[in-house]
Amino acid sequence: MTYNYYLITLVTGAIITAVFLILRVKKGGFFGLFSKTVASVSFVATAMTAAHQKTSFYEFTSFMIMGFMFGLLGDIWLDLKWMYLENKDSFLYAGFISFLIGHIFFISAILHNSPWTFWSIFASVVGALVISTGAVLLEKPMGLSYGKFKPIVFLYSTTLSLTLTTSAVTAYITGFEKCWVIMTIGAALFLFSDLVLSGMYFSVKQDKNTPVNVIINHTLYYAAQFMLASAIHFVK
């Protein structure tokens, strides 16, 4: 009997993520961190099982898996921020840097397989800068205060936005191949997740870290990671 291990890990990961959300809201602390780590391992496993079916795309899948590994590390650092408050700034920087590096790997994977041109790269970079600059300029209108984190917020926002714009431009120039459409949706969900997270971390009133926002943030985030992992399954 032939099993579709990609589909099995994807469904299992979705179930584990649902369990994590319950534990994160109800228990928090160690239970929240442990279940979140398992949920994050699940999107790494989904990527790896999808990659197993795409051995002819070794460099693309390798870049993607490295991106997910740094996402896993970022998840751990950001949850430790809530457990070790005396080092919360250090863990927040570590989370930003881990996710930033992860997106560099995602962008590398996209560019490696994209039939890119000067103008597609130019459009991607300009689009990313517009999004990240807008995020910084809208700091006060959105009731946020980035403080000393503003430079890393801008750098991270730019790399995340590049994942989105390079995916979208590649989808367009390839006639909307399924892989790139899925990557674009995943990157957009990632961006929306981080918009919610920005309020939770940087709200001036410090009133956004609510159970509802925790659920929205993590639902968007894990949907994004599993969508990005699924893009590997559809690459051609």
Note the helical H segments in 174-210. 178-202
* Model pLDDT, residue 82: 80
Q: Among all chains, which residue has been given the structure tokens 């649902």? A: 18
Q: Please give the pLDDT value at position 81.
A: 86
The tens digit of pLDDT for each residue in 140-197 reads 999 999 999 999 999 999 999 999 999 999 999 999 999 999 999 999 999 999 999 9
In this prediction, residue 96 carries a pLDDT of 97
- Look at residue 51 in the predicted model and tell me its pLDDT: 94
State how far the Cα of 204 lies from the Cα of 142, in Å rounded to an integer.
9
Residue 71 has pLDDT above 50, yes or no: yes
Q: At residue 27, what are phi and psi to the nearest 5 degrees? A: -110, -50
Integer CA distances (angstroms), 53 to 178, 183, 201, in order: 16, 18, 39
Residue 167 contacts residue 187 (beta carbons within 8 Å) = yes
* High-pLDDT (> 70) share of the chain, %: 99
In this structure, are residues 235 and 60 in contact, taking their beta carbons and an 8 Å threshold? yes
Q: What tens digit of pLDDT does each residue of 7-56 get?
A: 999 999 999 999 999 998 888 778 888 899 999 999 999 999 999 988 88
- CB contact set of 183 (below 8 Å; sequence gap of 6+): 106, 110, 163, 167, 170, 171, 227, 228, 231
Positive or negative, the Cα torsion across 10, 16, 20, 26?
positive
**Secondary structure (DSSP) of 151-170:** HHHHHHHHHHHHHHHHHHHH
pTM for this prediction: 0.94
**What one-character DSSP code corresponds to residue 114?**
S
What gap in Å lies between CA 204 and CA 126, rounded to an integer?
30
Tokens for 30, please give them: 């160690």
Q: Is the pLDDT of residue 75 over 50?
A: yes
Amino acid present at 161 = S
Q: What percent of the chain has pLDDT over 90?
A: 83
> Quick one: pLDDT band at residue 3, thresholds 50, 70, 90?
low
pLDDT of the residue at 1: 38
